[in-house]
């Protein structure tokens, strides 16, 4: 039994221990908060909010003073290219993005105004800004995979663009289930697995802490060597194994490579049966009609490039290749083809010049090309962007069959 003096000494020691522990804990928290603030001050977010465009790039690196991906913010350009991440050049360097490759082919001064997540509303706003560069031609590149969702979200959820919205706010149709499917395909873990729960927690922390992200990136190589993190090749193999054994994704092997197709996740964005996509299509028609009228009034050549999803590209490639079967895409393809026909029909009716790069992408695959990286990512790699640039350039060299080429390309592939 402890004596009174011993008890008092013990209590004093415990009190000092607790005080010191709290002091150390407070010091650690203060240091982490300070480090977080310093990192945010020294390295601003790559994307900043914008009242009109929703967001735009932060100048620095290959992002110019206006927030777009160019070597410099030109005051004059012969050609301006407007688009989203497919035009910005995700998965490629600045020089490998298709507008830059295209500029080299035409040997004209080109300025790119594209950013991830943009859609018809942003294209319409940037069309006005593009005119300030006194271009001879403005090219707007639209992506079938999400432009109509993006059009609805901007028009019906941003006060600045309410006059383009005809239906009001609709219920969110990107369900949690759909988001979970994307996460499973991205990382190769079942949604109810402990690995997925840990991953989601880490992503939540990373989203709110720049310090956590910086330390994670810096320690990646060491963690891989210690076996605490998987190497990229191991992650890719795990994701491929998951996709091969689950109905939510299709692992497609071709040309000594592979890619993952996700029709279930993408279906709503290309289906006109979806209320948001249908309303987005109406917004698309308004914005593109206005751009066409302005181009005519200003005597500017207006051209639209249609970039399809990789799902329809590989589907059509599989039809030309023995031993491959993508019949699991049939239901999805019907919806994207319906959407594409409606888009082409509108362009034909409004007299808008357009070019669909689908057939050239399929041909490049037939020639042994690898146009997309492994995994679910729907953005081309540098080889894919080069095909888009060459396709646009070739189209412009045959103006005598301009719109007919774009109109009949889908039908030609379907007939084959």
Task: Give domain status of residue 180, yes or no.
Answer: no
Domain hosting residue 38, numbered range: 1-42
Q: Would you call 78 exposed, middle or buried from its count of C-beta atoms within 10 A (0-12, 13-18, 19+)?
A: middle
- What is the sign of the dihedral through the CA atoms of 182, 97, 128 and 339? negative
Query: How far apart are alpha carbons 280 and 123 in whole angstroms?
Result: 13
339 in a domain, yes or no? Answer: yes
β-strands 54-57, 47-50 pairing? antiparallel
Q: Same domain, yes or no, for 137 and 286?
A: yes
321, 276: one domain: yes
Residue 179 lies in a domain: no
Question: How far apart are alpha carbons 237 and 196 in whole angstroms?
Answer: 17
**pTM for this entry:** 0.86
Distance CA 146, CA 295 (A): 25
**38 with 54, same domain?**
no
| Same-domain check for residues 314 and 391 | yes
Do 29 and 161 lie in a common domain? no
- Whether residue 145 sits in one domain with residue 269: yes
Number of domains present in the structure of the chain: 3
Report the alpha-carbon distance of residue 270 to residue 272 in Å, rounded. 6
pLDDT in single tens digits along all 416 residues of the chain: 556 666 677 777 778 888 888 888 888 878 767 776 776 666 667 778 888 999 999 999 899 999 999 999 999 999 999 999 999 999 999 999 999 999 999 999 999 999 999 999 999 999 999 999 999 999 999 999 999 999 999 999 899 999 999 876 666 555 555 677 778 877 888 888 888 788 888 878 877 777 777 777 777 787 777 777 788 787 788 888 888 888 788 999 888 899 999 888 888 899 999 999 999 999 999 999 999 999 999 999 999 999 999 999 999 999 877 767 788 899 999 999 999 999 999 999 999 999 999 999 999 999 999 999 988 899 999 999 999 999 999 999 886 454 444 444 555 555 55
On whether both 258 and 269 belong to a single domain, the answer is no
């Amino acid at each position: 039994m402890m004596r009174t003096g011993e008890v008092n000494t013990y209590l004093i020691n415990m009190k000092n221990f607790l005080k010191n522990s709290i002091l150390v804990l407070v010091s650690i928290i203060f240091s982490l908060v300070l480090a977080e603030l310093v990192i945010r001050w020294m390295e601003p977010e790559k994307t900043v909010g914008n009242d009109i465009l929703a967001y735009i790039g932060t100048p620095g690196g290959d992002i110019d003073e206006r927030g777009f991906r160019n070597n410099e913010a030109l005051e004059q350009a012969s050609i301006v290219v407007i688009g989203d991440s497919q035009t910005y050049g995700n998965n490629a360097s600045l020089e490998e993005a298709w507008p830059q490759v295209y500029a080299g082919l035409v040997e004209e001064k080109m300025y790119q105004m594209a950013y991830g997540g943009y859609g018809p509303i942003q294209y319409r706003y940037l069309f006005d800004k593009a005119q300030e560069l006194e271009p001879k031609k403005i090219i707007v590149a639209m992506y079938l995979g999400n432009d109509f969702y993006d059009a609805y979200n901007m028009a019906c959820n941003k006060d600045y663009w309410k006059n383009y919205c005809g239906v009001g706010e609709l219920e969110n149709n990107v369900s949690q289930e759909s988001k979970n499917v994307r996460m499973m395909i991205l990382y190769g873990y079942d949604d109810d697995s402990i690995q997925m729960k840990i991953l989601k927690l880490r992503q939540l922390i990373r989203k709110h802490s720049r310090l956590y992200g910086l330390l994670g990136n810096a320690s990646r190589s060491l963690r891989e060597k210690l076996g605490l993190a998987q190497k990229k090749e191991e992650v890719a193999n795990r994701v491929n194994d998951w996709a091969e054994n689950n109905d939510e994704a299709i692992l497609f092997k071709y040309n000594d490579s592979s890619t993952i197709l996700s029709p279930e996740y993408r279906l709503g964005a290309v289906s006109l049966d979806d209320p948001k996509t249908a309303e987005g299509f109406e917004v698309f028609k308004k914005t593109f009609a206005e751009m066409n009228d302005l181009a005519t009034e200003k005597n500017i050549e207006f051209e639209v490039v249609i970039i399809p999803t990789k799902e329809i590209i590989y589907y059509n490639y599989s039809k030309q290749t023995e031993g491959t079967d993508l019949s699991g895409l049939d239901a999805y393809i019907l919806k994207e083809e319906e959407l594409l026909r409606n888009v082409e029909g509108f362009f034909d009716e409004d007299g808008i010049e357009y070019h669909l790069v689908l057939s050239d992408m399929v041909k490049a695959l037939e020639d042994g090309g690898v146009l997309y990286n492994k995994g679910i990512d729907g953005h081309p790699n540098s080889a894919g962007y080069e095909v888009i640039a060459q396709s646009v350039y070739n189209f412009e060299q045959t103006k005598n069959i301009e719109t007919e080429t774009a109109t009949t390309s889908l039908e030609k592939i379907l007939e084959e």
